[in-house]
Structure 1
Amino acid sequence: MTTTASEDTGSAAVRLRSLRRSYGEVVALDGVDLDFATGTFTAVMGPSGSGKSTLLSCAAGLDRPSGGTVSVGGVELAGLSERRLTLLRRERIGFVFQAFNLLPSLTAAQNVALPLRLAGRRPSRGAVREALARVGLAERAGHRPTQLSGGQQQRVALARALITRPAVLFADEPTGALDTTTSRDVLALLRELVDREGQTTIMVTHDPVAASYADRVVFLVDGRVHGELERPSAERVAAHMAGLERGAGGGAEAHRAVGGVVPC
Structure 2
Amino acid sequence: MIDPAVLLDGVTRTYGDGDAKVAALHQVSAAFPMGSFTAVMGPSGSGKSTLLQCASGLDRPQSGAVRVAGQDITRLPEKDLAVLRRDRIGVIFQTFNLVPSLTAWQNVVLPSRLARRRPDPARVRELLRRVGLGDREGHRPAQLSGGQQQRVAIARALLSRPEVLFADEPTGALDRATGHEVLELLREAVDEFGQTVVMVTHDPEAAARADAVLFLTDGRIVDLVQRPSAEQIGLRLGGRA
The reply to whether TM is greater than 0.5 is yes
**Secondary structure at 1:106's aligned position in 2?**
coil
Task: Give the equivalent residue in structure 2 for 1:237.
Answer: 233
**Secondary structure at 1:171's aligned position in 2?**
strand
- % identical aligned pairs: 56
Moved over 6 A (4+): none
- Aligned match for 1:32, one of 24, 28, 44: 28
- Aligned match for 1:143, one of 132, 138, 142: 138
Please give the alpha-carbon distance, in whole angstroms, between the structure 2 residues aligned to 1:189 and 1:135: 11
- Aligned match for 1:130, one of 123, 141, 150: 123
Task: Give the equivalent residue in structure 2 for 1:23.
Answer: 15
Contact between 2:128 and 2:137, CA under 8 Å: does it hold in 1? no
For 1:95-244, list aligned pairs within 5 A: 95-119=91-115, 121=116, 123-124=117-118, 126-134=119-127, 136=129, 139-140=134-135, 142-144=137-139, 145=141, 153-242=149-238
Please give the alpha-carbon distance, in whole angstroms, between the structure 2 residues aligned to 1:228 and 1:107: 41
TM-score of the aligned structures, taking structure 2 as reference length: 0.87
Please give the alpha-carbon distance, in whole angstroms, between the structure 1 residues aligned to 2:24 and 2:103: 38
Cα RMSD of the aligned pairs, angstroms, is 2.3
Contact between 2:109 and 2:124, CA under 8 Å: does it hold in 1? no
Task: Give the equivalent residue in structure 2 for 1:74.
Answer: 70
> How many residue pairs align between the two structures?
233
Q: In structure 2, give the amino acid aligned to 1:196.
A: E
Please give the alpha-carbon distance, in whole angstroms, between the structure 2 residues aligned to 1:108 and 1:156: 6
CA deviation profile, 1:135-173 (whole Å, cap 9, x unmatched) = 535955742146666665434322211333311000001
Contact between 1:43 and 1:205, CA under 8 Å: does it hold in 2? yes
Q: In structure 2, give the amino acid aligned to 1:181.
A: A
**Secondary structure at 1:225's aligned position in 2?**
strand
For 1:46-61, list aligned pairs within 5 A: 46-61=42-57
CA deviation profile, 1:99-154 (whole Å, cap 9, x unmatched) = 433334322221112113334x2x42x52432442453595574214666666543
Contact between 2:163 and 2:195, CA under 8 Å: does it hold in 1? yes
CA deviation profile, 1:174-217 (whole Å, cap 9, x unmatched) = 11111223222211221122222222100001111111111100
**Secondary structure at 2:57's aligned position in 1?**
coil
Q: In structure 2, give the amino acid aligned to 1:133.
A: E
**Secondary structure at 2:129's aligned position in 1?**
coil
**Secondary structure at 2:87's aligned position in 1?**
helix
Contact between 2:154 and 2:170, CA under 8 Å: does it hold in 1? no
Q: In structure 1, give the amino acid aligned to 2:49.
A: S
Contact between 1:132 and 1:159, CA under 8 Å: does it hold in 2? no
Contact between 2:208 and 2:230, CA under 8 Å: does it hold in 1? yes
Task: Give the equivalent residue in structure 2 for 1:44.
Answer: 40
Unpaired stretches in structure 1, ≥5 consecutive residues: 1-8, 246-264
Q: In structure 1, give the amino acid aligned to 2:44.
A: S
Q: 1:132 to 1:198 in 2, by over 3 A?
A: farther
Please give the alpha-carbon distance, in whole angstroms, between the structure 2 residues aligned to 1:192 and 1:164: 14
Q: In structure 2, give the amino acid aligned to 1:130.
A: R
Please give the alpha-carbon distance, in whole angstroms, between the structure 1 residues aligned to 2:143 and 2:122: 18
Q: In structure 2, give the amino acid aligned to 1:161.
A: A
TM-score of the aligned structures, taking structure 1 as reference length: 0.80
CA deviation profile, 1:66-97 (whole Å, cap 9, x unmatched) = 10000001100122111111111111110112
Task: Give the equivalent residue in structure 1 for 2:5.
Answer: 13
In terms of mean alpha carbon deviation, does 91-100 or 57-66 score higher?
A: 91-100
Contact between 1:19 and 1:70, CA under 8 Å: does it hold in 2? yes
